[in-house]
Each structure stands twice: as structure tokens, then as C-alpha cells.
Structure 1
Amino acid sequence: MTNQAVAVPNKLDGAVLKIAGVVVLGAIMSILDITVVSVALPTFQTEFDATYAEVAWTMTGYTLALATVIPLSGWAADRFGTKRLYMLALLLFTLGSALCATADSIGQLIGFRVLQGLGGGMLMPLGMTIMTRAAGPERIGRLMAVLGIPMLLGPIGGPILGGWLIEARSWHWIFLINVPIGAIALVYAYFALPKDNAEPSESFDFVGMLMLSPGLALFLYGISSLPETGTIATPKVWVTMLLGAVLVAGFVLYSFKPRHPLLDLRLFRNRNLTVASVSLFVFIIAFMGAGLLFPSYFLQVRGESTLHAGLLMAPQGIGAMLTMPIAGALADKIPVGRTVPFAMALIAAGFFAFTQVGTDTSYLLLCGSLFVMGLGMGGTMMPIMTSALRTLTNHEVARGSTLVNILQQIGSSIGGAIMSVILTSQLNGSAPIPGLNDPRTGEPITEAGAAIATQHGAQLPVEPSILQRGLEFVADSFATTFWVGFALVLATFIPVAFLPRKRLRTQPPVGPDADGGDRVAAPVMIH
């Protein structure tokens, strides 16, 4: 026991932090890229003379590529080694970024975004696997706090960086900025990551791949089309969602038959992983979905620029950066079931203020609420992920992190679609302005639409009283949508109540695993 205590240092040593630096660089690129591109959508409409539905595919195509490649990450990590695969993912993402900057049509940009997504989809699950193996189970909490840095920088820094680059340079630079970072990360990864150990390769589950990857892509395509159509009754939505759901359900039934399935659902026999995964899934739907609308409120109701909207979101990141290192250290010592409920209470308290928003709600109140939410977020997301991975063996970590990332991706897409559809349906209830039509579509312009357009500098022949009424309608629509998000945040308390409240053993005992072989506890890498 004494030797084991010496072998597992209490703090993250320099060698582990060096490895963490590689992973954080890759994660920053992939997560930052999502929010940076979302800011550029109006610019793409102007540059490529495209509709919003067309430019939205620059986001949807990236998401579908993520959904396709993430299930392969666990098998590929075991087959080829995490270092080789991580460097390949970095190369694909960097190459895709460079090509995106050369696009001269919306079709080319969408295609290059898919290439980016194929690389970006592997960066997070592989990064989690590399870091967990490097530090050992005793230090997962502190390690997850380090990995949480890019998850915070993405939503906060994305709008700020994207707005500044577009205003100061051009839209090309939101992609070009990834090229030097990617090159540095590649060289860094080559020297910093430990050499891959050759292991006997598992057979590849082709049948599972033919069901799961297309199933996830079709399901997420249907969900992503919801904001555009505004209703689930459209065949484009319900047919693709149904086909996707059938394929995923077929995979679930099939996956328990092969010895080495593409996605190892047998891991859900681990109660700790199951409870943590459900908690994380519900939390992502609630918080990430509504969180996408916070900057939209500042843009559409308050008329702020993209840069200013990003700066107004900064208090959330500041709050999270204060609590995340503390929560990471506590997760290694105190059961997460005793800390996460308090962090969730902070999120709920801060979120409530946004259910009361109007056209002139105090920025001091809103920024203070974002700060409180950030404090809660820093104590929620990473501890839950720590709980999910803590009791997995070395071989199970790659598969477990793949499961967690798939749930995150699906939850984020569902949450974003739900909030967007609710907001769109609310805004569509605004009264049309007689005699005023959109020159592109011929559709009547509503009071809400005129108010939003005026906030962004458009000059419309509309009376100020009508614009004010439209602006109030938009603010009420956001408040109603935030009420739904608030209800979903409260629903997260249900699975959180089942998180472990007693200290767990971080290394499971040796014994037979689901495949009939020996389960070996995750080794601790000693430097």
C-alpha cells in the first residue's frame, strides 16, 4: 500500500501537464471553431449570396461528421494507438481549416467543414483517453478540470474572437488561425505524447458501423433541420429522425452479440457510469441548448455587436474558471453526489434571471447571473465526467470516453434544436406589418422581424411605436424560451440525485470482464 501511495502523486506532475497541454491545444481548436463559425453565418450569407438555410449547413455538416467519426474513436484508439490517431485527427482538422479559407462557394465550404469535423470528432474522446491514462484514476478530477479549460474558452472566446477577426480582417481568418495552432500542436504531440504500445488488434465491427454512424447522422440531421422547418411534421425532419432512430435502436439490440462491438454498451452495467452519463446528457440538453441563446438575446433584443455580445458573456467563463480547479480537486476527495447538487443550485439561481428578461433589463443583473451560472457550471460538468470515467479499467477508458462524447454531441444537438424551435415558433406569432414584404421571399415582414432588423442597422419605413412593440414581443419570446430552459435545468436535479454519495474505489478489482477475459485495473503512468 505504501508503494502505491508513492506511485500515485497527489498533484499533477510536470510530465502529465505536458501531455495535458497537447490535448488542451487540440480541444481549444475544435470547440472554439464551433462558436467562431456560428458568428460568421450572416457574413457567409453575404459573401456567397446564400440563404440562411444554406449557410447553416456549415454547422450541420460539421456536426454530422462528428457524429459519424466519434463511434470509431474507441476501436481506432485500441487498434492504431492513441498517439498516431490523435496526430492524424490534428492533421485532418488543420488541413480542413486551411481548405475552408480557400473556399469560393458555399458548397466547397460545407465540404471542407465536413473534413474538419472528421478530425475534430476524434480530438475530444482521444484527448480524454490520453489524459486519463497518463494521470491514473486517482487524479482524474484534477485532470478533468484542466480539460475543462477549452470547454469554457469555446463559448466565451468564440464570439469575441470571431467578431474581432471578421471586423478587423476577413472571414477567412476564422479558419486560418487554426493552421499555425494546428502545426504547433502536431509538433508538440510528436515529442510530448508517450509512444504507442502495439497491442493485438480487435476485429472491426462493420455491421455495427453500418447501423450506428449513419443512424446518428440521420437522427442529428433531422434534429438540425427543425429550426429551419419549424415543425416536426415535415418529412425532412420526421422521416430522417425515424430512420436514424430505427438504425440506432437496431444497433443497441445488436451490440450485445459481438465480442468487440463498435460501441461497448456493456459498460452501462457499471452503475456509476450510467448515472453519470444520464446526468451529463440531461445537463447538456438543458444548459447548452439555452446557453446558445444568451448571446442571441444581446444581439437581437439589445442590438449589441457580435464583439460586445461576446464580451457580455465573459462573466460566465470567469465564474467557471474560479470554481473548476476547486471542483476538480474536490472530485478526487469527495463523492460528486455531495458537491454537484450545490453547483446545480447555482446554475438554477442564475438561470432564473433570464426568464425575466425585457427590452431594458439591467446588464449588471444579467452579467451577475451569468457569473453565478459560471460558478455552478465549473462545479458540475467536469465532476460528472470524472464520476463517469473513474471506475473504468485502462482498456475501457477509450470506449467509455467515446460513449460520453456521443451523449454530449447528441444532447447538445437536441438542446439547441429544442430551444431554437421554441424561440422561432414564438417569434412567428408576431403580427405582420401591412404593406411591408421581404424583397427576397415576398413574405410579409412581422413587427418582431422589423424590430430585429432595425437593431442591426436596417432602415425600414415603420413607425417607432410599431418597432417598440415588436422589440417587446421579441424580448417576451426569449423570456418564454428561457422558461423552458429553466424547467430543463430543474429536471437535471433528478438524475443528479443518484450520483454516488459514498467514496468509490478508483481501481476496480481484477476479475472476469464482459468478454470473458481478465479485467485489469487502469495502470498509473509513473514519470
Structure 2
Amino acid sequence: MNMNNQEKTTKSVPTTGKMDMRAALIMVLVMMAPMLDTTMTNIGINTILKDLNSTVNTIQWVTSAYVLALGLAVPLAGWLVNQMSGKLLMIIAQIGFLIGSLASGIATNVPMLLAGRIVQGAAAGIIIPLATTLMLKMAQGQNLGQLMAVVGLPIVFAPILGPTVGGALIKFWSWHWLFYINIPLVVAALVLVLMYLPTFEPDAADRKPFDLFGFLLIIGLFSGLIVAVTNFSSNDIFGQMSVLIPGFIGIDCLLVYIVYAFKQPDKALLPIKLFDNAHFSASALLLFMSGLMVNGAMFALPLFLQNIRHLSVIMTGVYLIAQGAGMLVTRTQVGKLTDAYGAKWVVIISLVLAVVTTIPFAYFTTTTPDWLILTMLFLMGLSRSGVTIPIMSDSYTGLDPKLIPEATVTTRMAQNIGGSIATAILAAVIASYEGNNVATTAMMSTAYYHTFIWIAVGTAVAIIPALFLSVKTKEAA
């Protein structure tokens, strides 16, 4: 009997280095489509907007809905992995992403596209954290650094490949191929998962009821705020019911959740006691605010390059390679600096660099030299790695190990939902200056001037919570 159980466990989670690396490479392919999808779609926002006769304010939901659904699905993924086989959950999520991609590709209007994007985002919100969780289980403390380096490849290359591939697809086919291209990637990954991925049966001791009430409150909180911001941008009237009602729903959901989490600390999806740790509180807030610099900027930059610089979609993708290259250069060094000196000064210096490299875009025009724009994009990329990586690392500093799973869920949600709110805010800024009619060059220049000023100011404000991140002294090191 003991021998049978041992054989079952071995089959469920293999421990040989060779099998670990093969599974890690499968995970790279599994995560590739969801990771590329956001950057590819951003490059096509302007084309989709024109083809579907939409507005910036409406079409921003193509990005916001995806990122919001992704962020809200993360806690669901953390619960589901303890309820069913990890392999089965991955298969279901991939099929969901496949259906969402197909629905987005065949869309002929904005509502159809949004429906597909929501399905895509929810599936991606399960796939990405699930892939990391399963690899951690498989590593079992061995070859962890090597495995995580392999699994991290999609994160490194998505900002470089996404805009270029997306631009080429639109140039030679149509924006629909931004979603069709996912189909062969997902099918190939699905076949490999079916053939080679272990089952990852859940431990019965980890099973617990899902906090449905708390989950619904979180959905109401963030959805209400995003809808309020979007409706406000339509006519710049704060007092209208279409703004006040969703805004108050969001605030009420927040207040109810705080009371609920205090009274039911063991049931709450996101425990309030996480925020007793100053480093975690600062990290969660910073990850939420980093959406303005990361997701918001990635939404605004392609629109700026196409509408102000009049670049084609494929050239816009080529330009954005500079930003991805900057991220790639600093990715490994930032980790070493954080380990040596703590997150505080690495993040603060990176935020200052981000502000300095964002402000020039408010003043760039059609006559600005190409080399200057490319240089600023590269420097902007350098600063991005110096923000997200140290903050993610510092969110676990001094935290009770029992709270690590909840902390992981909270930080991932903060980052993704912050990005969706940031995108909605920037779309509102652009729409408020462009108006609903055909915008003149002067109107568009004014709109993007204010957009990048908003990004710069939001990034500068983030320096305040960064002061509460950890710092390592020479004695501690």
C-alpha cells in the first residue's frame, strides 16, 4: 500500500532535474500567449478604434477589461489549485483562453470584442499564477533559480516581441490576427500539457471554502471605480448619476469589505492583518500605483506614436523595442542591487528616472528627432525593471510565512487592477481633450501633453510610499 502511494506521488510530481526543465519549458509556452497578448493588443488599439468607429474612451475597455478580469481571477486560481488537479485546471484555463481569443478575433463590434477579452483575461489570470505555482511544487527546493529563470523568459521578452509581432500582424493582415495568432500557440501548449505535465493532485489539507462574499465585494469595488471614471470622461460632469452610482457602489463595497475582513479574519480572501506589515503595505500600494507607469504608459505610447508622430503600426512596434531592451538590460542587475541594499533606494531612484524620462513625451512633436525619442524609451525601460522587481521582492520582507499565499494574491491583484484603473484614467484624460468629434492635430497634442503629465505626476507621488520600503545596512548585509 505504501509502495503504491509512493508510485502515485512520483508520477504526480516528478523530481528529476531533466523532467523539471522540460516542464519549465512547457510552462514558457503556456504563458507566452497570455503575456504577449497585452503588448500586442496595445499596439493595435488605434487601428481597432478606427475600424470599429469607436472612441478612445470606449476602446480603452479592450485593455482595461482584460487586465481587470486577469487581476480578479488571480485569487480564484489560488483557490482552485487546491480543489482539483493542477493539470486539469491548466487544461480548462487554456481552453478558456482559446475560446476568448477566437471570440475576440471574429468580433465585428466593441461589445463582442469586450466579451472575448473578458474571457481571455479571466483565463490568463488563472494560467500565469498557476504556471508559477506548479513549477514551485515541482522544483521542491531544487534547481529553483534555474527553473525560475526559464519560466521568467515570457516576462522578459513579451515587451520586446509583442509590439513588433503585433505591428507586423496588423500591417500584413488585420487587427483580428492579434487574437488569431494565439490559437496555434495555445493548441501547441495544450498538446504538451496533455502529454507531459504531471497531474499535481491537491492536498486535502489545503482545501477550504472559497470566500465568495469577499470576492464579490472586491469585484464591486474595482468595477464600480472604473465605470465611474469612464463615465465621468464622457462629458466631464461629476454630479451625474452614471458617475455617482458606480462610484458610491465601489466605495460602499470597500467599506463593507473592511468591516467583513475585521470580523471574519479567517474567511476573508485578503486578510486585513497583511497590512500590519509596513513593507507589505507600501509594496501593495506601489504595485497598485505602478499601473500608471507600466500599463498606463503602454496604453498611451502606441497612441502617441501613431497619432502625433504618424508612425505606422509596424514602426510603432519597432520603436517600442527600445523600451523592452531597457527592461532587459536592468532586469538581472536590479535583483542584485535589491539583495545588497534593499528595495527603498533602488525603487526611489528608478521612480525619479521614470519621471525624468516621461516628462519629455509631453513636449515631443512631429519634428522631435527620432534618436531622442528612442533614447527616452530605452531609459524609460531601464526604470521599469527598477520599480516592479524590488517592490515584488520587498512585499514579503518580515511577513509571517503563513500569510505568503494571501500576500501573493494581494500583490498580483494590486498590480493588475491598478493597471486597469490607470488605463481608464488615461483614456478619460485623452477623451476629455479630444472630444467625441474628429480631433484636430492641436487637440491631440494637448490631449497627449496632459496624458504624459498625469503619468509623470502619478509616478512622482509613488515616491512617498517608496520611503517605507526596506533598506539594508552594511551590518545586515
Q: TM-score, normalised by structure 2?
A: 0.82
Find the partner of 2:203 among 198, 203, 209: 198
Shift of 1:404: 1.2
Other structure's SS at 1:255 match? helix
Percent identity of equivalent pairs: 26
Question: What number of residue pairs does the alignment pair up?
Answer: 455
Find the partner of 1:417 among 414, 418, 424: 424
Shift of 1:162: 2.4
Q: Do 1:146 and 1:325's aligned partners in 2 also have CA atoms closer than 8 Å?
A: no
Residue number in structure 1 paired with 2:96 = 92
Shift of 1:136: 7.6
Residue number in structure 2 paired with 1:255 = 261
Q: Do 1:32 and 1:154's aligned partners in 2 also have CA atoms closer than 8 Å?
A: yes
Q: Which segment is superposed worse, 402-411 or 197-206?
A: 197-206
Q: Do 2:56 and 2:427's aligned partners in 1 also have CA atoms closer than 8 Å?
A: no
Alignment partners' CA distance in 2, 1:278 and 1:142: 30
Find the partner of 1:213 among 210, 216, 219: 219
List per-residue Cα deviations over 1:430-480 (Å, max 9, x = no partner).
xxxxxxxxxxx8x6x5xxx233xxxxxxxxxxxxxxxxxx3xx53344234
Shift of 1:244: 2.1
Q: Do 1:230 and 1:424's aligned partners in 2 also have CA atoms closer than 8 Å?
A: no
What residue ranges of structure 2 are gaps of 5+ in the alignment?
Answer: 1-16
Residue number in structure 2 paired with 1:117 = 121
Alignment partners' CA distance in 2, 1:284 and 1:141: 27
Q: Superposition pairs for residues 318-333 of structure 1, below 5 Å?
A: 318-332=325-339
Q: Which segment is superposed worse, 126-135 or 366-375?
A: 126-135
Which one-letter code corresponds to 1:248 in the other structure? L
- Find out whether 1:481 has 2:451 as its counterpart: yes
Which one-letter code corresponds to 2:225 in the other structure? F
Shift of 1:211: 2.2
Residue number in structure 1 paired with 2:392 = 385
Shift of 1:73: 2.6
Q: Do 1:32 and 1:158's aligned partners in 2 also have CA atoms closer than 8 Å?
A: yes
Alignment partners' CA distance in 2, 1:93 and 1:213: 21
Find the partner of 2:300 among 283, 293, 297: 293
- Find out whether 1:367 has 2:374 as its counterpart: yes
Alignment partners' CA distance in 1, 2:430 and 2:61: 20
Alignment partners' CA distance in 2, 1:146 and 1:492: 31
List per-residue Cα deviations over 1:355-392 (Å, max 9, x = no partner).
43233112211111111121122222122112224666
Q: Do 2:73 and 2:125's aligned partners in 1 also have CA atoms closer than 8 Å?
A: yes
Residue number in structure 1 paired with 2:34 = 30
Task: Mark the structure with the bigger radius of gyration.
Answer: 1
Alignment partners' CA distance in 1, 2:386 and 2:21: 21
Residue number in structure 1 paired with 2:465 = 495
Alignment partners' CA distance in 2, 1:220 and 1:351: 24
Shift of 1:409: 2.1
What residue ranges of structure 1 are gaps of 5+ in the alignment?
Answer: 1-12, 429-440, 452-469, 504-527
Alignment partners' CA distance in 1, 2:22 and 2:390: 22
More helix by percentage = 2
List per-residue Cα deviations over 1:233-291 (Å, max 9, x = no partner).
44323321221221132122202333232333333333332222122222223443234
List per-residue Cα deviations over 1:41-76 (Å, max 9, x = no partner).
555566666676665554454345335433323322
Shift of 1:490: 1.8
Q: Which segment is superposed worse, 317-326 or 223-232?
A: 223-232
Alignment partners' CA distance in 2, 1:52 and 1:422: 10
Which one-letter code corresponds to 2:461 in the other structure? A
Other structure's SS at 2:284 match? helix
Find the partner of 1:179 among 183, 186, 195: 183
Q: Do 2:42 and 2:302's aligned partners in 1 also have CA atoms closer than 8 Å?
A: no
Other structure's SS at 1:499 match? coil
Find the partner of 2:410 among 403, 407, 410: 403
Q: Do 2:325 and 2:381's aligned partners in 1 also have CA atoms closer than 8 Å?
A: yes
Alignment partners' CA distance in 1, 2:152 and 2:91: 21
Alignment partners' CA distance in 2, 1:206 and 1:310: 41
Q: TM-score, normalised by structure 1?
A: 0.75
Residue number in structure 2 paired with 1:69 = 73
Other structure's SS at 1:313 match? helix
| Change in CA separation of 1:498 and 1:171 when aligned onto 2, cut-off 3 Å | same
Which one-letter code corresponds to 2:289 in the other structure? V
Residue number in structure 2 paired with 1:450 = 440
Alignment partners' CA distance in 2, 1:280 and 1:310: 26
| Change in CA separation of 1:36 and 1:291 when aligned onto 2, cut-off 3 Å | closer
Alignment partners' CA distance in 2, 1:285 and 1:137: 35
Shift of 1:110: 3.1
| Change in CA separation of 1:117 and 1:288 when aligned onto 2, cut-off 3 Å | closer
Residue number in structure 2 paired with 1:240 = 246
Other structure's SS at 1:167 match? helix
**Bigger relative contact order, structure 1 or 2, given CA contacts below 8 A and separation 6+?**
2
Q: Do 1:39 and 1:159's aligned partners in 2 also have CA atoms closer than 8 Å?
A: yes
